[in-house]
Amino acid sequence: MTSTSRWSKWSTNSLRVAIVIGLSVSIPMLAALVVLVGGARWFPCGDMAQAELHMRGFLSHPPLVGAAGRIVDDAGFQGSHPGPSLWVAMYPVYALGGRSSAALMTSVVSVHLVSIVAAVWLVVRRWGRWAGVIGGLAILVLLRSSGSDFMVEPWNVWMAFLPFVVLLLLCFDVIAPVENSGPRVRSRNWLIAVAVGSHCVQSHAGYLVIVVAALLLALGVLIVDVRAERGSWRLPVVGGLFTTLIMWSGPIVDQMRRVPGNLTILREHFTSPTEPYIALSLAVRVVTTQYNVFGPWLLGPHVHASNDSWLRWPGFVAMVGLTVWALRRGRGTSEWRLVVMTNLVVVIGILSVTRIFGPYYEYTIRWFWVLVVANLVLCMRVVTRGRSWPPVLRRSRVAVAAAVAVVMIGLTTFQSVDGLRLPGSTDSRIISVLAPQLRDELDPSGRYLIRMYDPYTLNATGFGTLLELGRSGYDVGVDLYFAAAALPHRVVPESEVDAVLWVVVGRPIERARQDPNLTEIAAADPRSAVEQDRAKELIDAIRDGLERTGRDDLIGSLDRPGASLIFAEPPLEPSVADDVRALIRLGQPVSVFRSDPGYQSFAFAAE
């Protein structure tokens, strides 16, 4: 049998093993999907609605950029994350599923599943089946800590997380190649890494620095090794440029077609920030929290936050000590190269943390989890190399591994399904009430402009209304201000519509009802009388909790209690955060008003 045949057979067997491990690891995610799809119909709102708005026009108006983000240019025009790769990855399953909201959730799971199998396959090819089991369990830990929302939500931040695992493993294959991998195989892996890295960056701009760092480190080592073997460096360099051009063709076309192009908005946003960089003390706390043996990658961000005061420094020191030990002990091994690369990327990631401006949100640096887990596994492999295990443990390793896997998969599945809710379940319920009323009131042949007045939930219900009316066949559009969120082809001038629909949330509803030029055509309140009383109690409890914990600066936001309280930095005390989540889940009343084009109501003046 030739070496090529042996390699092909080994790769095939590795893929089979990876599929089995990947499917096993994905059981919690698949269980969560089955529970949600088999329940009440989901009406996506907010970011989830925006994701489906990008998908629904995929063929007639292909998206050229990513999800809208907290990105603005110097003139205040909203931009998007860099590219459409996540929409391309999800679209096949979304289309096969009939372009429904259930198919949208399924498409998210499909991307996660493919990423998991690819990651495990790369591990099995390099280190064997037992390493594949360990790698699968490490991914399972990341899934458990990420929570059930991560598993099914089409949020752009989540769509880059598991592909980043694949990117890191591909870079490992370039820097320390698998046996029998020549320069061409290493170059091919680097080109695939460029494509996967482009997907990560296009999904969320926060991956730019570390992805570029990992790719350049891998390319540098590859070129040095190839030149030492008197090979050609042109394939990885020229091929990398060609792959980059293909992957970024959508954003390039967008840049050429409109002014300002999204790349211009991104450049202005990140090179001339209007908000200050985070304080050095906060940056230190972020780094010591993340680069940590007991970090949020293991416990989840909410559990870790409640124990941060005593876990942070011991866990950080342990991580540093383990890394130094592995670097000293592993010289001359392929794993030593990988530990060096991983920690160089960590150092570059730390530098990028110091350049965060505006509010800090933990999810924006979730890539830290992947680097920490990779570093821990590599270091443990180095420091345990050559050590003999007790005979009893060697004989029973299959039973032990199976027991650990069953317990972890069972526990993660239970945690994922227990108390599982549809993403944005309250807003979804509101749309389920509003949609029939709107279909009864609106003329299917008319054209409508949707405007939103929502000081509570970042226009979540408004975008849900836009999506559902569009799905029902109504011609609906938005103002230029929402071009990034709803895509430019849905922007419609007010002079070209038959009526303006105002989606109003919370207290402004009463003012709008006093305007004789506004006609209320739909209304929904997700709260019963008891729940309205409960909301008042929660607001009082949150106010007391903020005062008790010295967070008086946040009390003013209780006039418009929205999700921004959840992402406050530093994090709220867990009991206060739980009260905020309970309040948000209760929701706010929502009404839709109709007015003639050109009419400006006093009801929507700033409060």
pLDDT reading at 230 higher than 80: no
Q: What is the pLDDT of residue 11?
A: 57
Q: Kindly tell me if the per-residue pLDDT of 305 is higher than 70.
A: no
Q: The domain containing residue 196 runs over which residues?
A: 160-247
Going by pLDDT thresholds of 50, 70 and 90, the confidence category of residue 1 is very low
- Domains in the chain, number: 2
Show which of 216, 247, 278 is a domain's final residue.
247
Q: What value does the mean pLDDT of the chain take?
A: 89
**Gap between the Cα atoms of 229 and 231, Å rounded:** 5
Phi, psi of 229 (to 5 degrees): -95, 10
573-590 mean pLDDT: 84
| Residue 3's pLDDT band (cuts 50, 70, 90) | very low
Residue 557 located in a structural domain = yes
Residue 591 lies in a domain: no
Last residue of a domain, one of 231, 247, 263: 247
Could you give the CA distance from residue 339 to residue 325 in angstroms, rounded to a whole number? 11
63-84, pLDDT tens digit by residue? 999 999 989 998 889 999 999 9
Segment 253-303, tens digit of pLDDT? 999 999 899 999 999 999 999 889 999 998 999 999 999 999 999 988 776
Does residue 568 form part of some domain? Answer: yes
520 found inside a domain? no
- For residue 550, being part of any structural domain is answered with yes
Distances (CA, A) of 59 to 28, 262, 477: 33, 20, 18
Cβ–Cβ under 8 Å, residues 583 and 546: no
b (16+ CB within 10 A) / e for 97-125 = beeebbbbbbbbbbbbbbbbbbbbbbbbb
DSSP string, 506-522: STHHHHHHT-TT-EEEE
Q: Rounded to 5 degrees, what angle do the CA atoms 59, 61, 62 make?
A: 65
Q: Which of 214, 247, 280 is the last residue of a domain?
A: 247
Instruction: Report if residue 596 sits inside a domain.
Output: no
Q: So what's the pLDDT on residue 582?
A: 85
Asked if the model's pLDDT at residue 10 lies above 60, the reply is no
pTM tops 0.85, yes or no = yes
Summarize pLDDT for 387-431 with one digit per residue, the tens.
Answer: 666 676 566 767 888 888 899 999 999 999 987 888 988 899 999
The answer to whether residue 222 sits within a structural domain is yes
Q: What is the average per-residue pLDDT within 437-449?
A: 96
Q: What is the pLDDT of residues 108-147, one digit of tens each?
A: 999 999 999 999 999 999 999 989 999 999 999 999 999 9
Mean pLDDT of all residues in 197-215: 97
The SS3 call for residue 595 is strand
How far CA 489 is from CA of 58, 59, 94, 599, in Å, comes to 12, 13, 21, 24
Q: Please check whether residue 465 lies inside any domain of the structure.
A: no
Lowest mean pLDDT among 204-213, 224-233, 288-297: 224-233
Predicted pLDDT of residue 4: 45
For residue 260, whether the previous peptide bond is cis, meaning omega lies within 30 degrees of 0, is yes
What's the pLDDT at 307? Answer: 60
In this structure, the number of other CB atoms found within 10 A of the CB of residue 475 comes to 14
Helix, strand, coil proportions of the chain in percent (round to 5)?
65, 5, 25
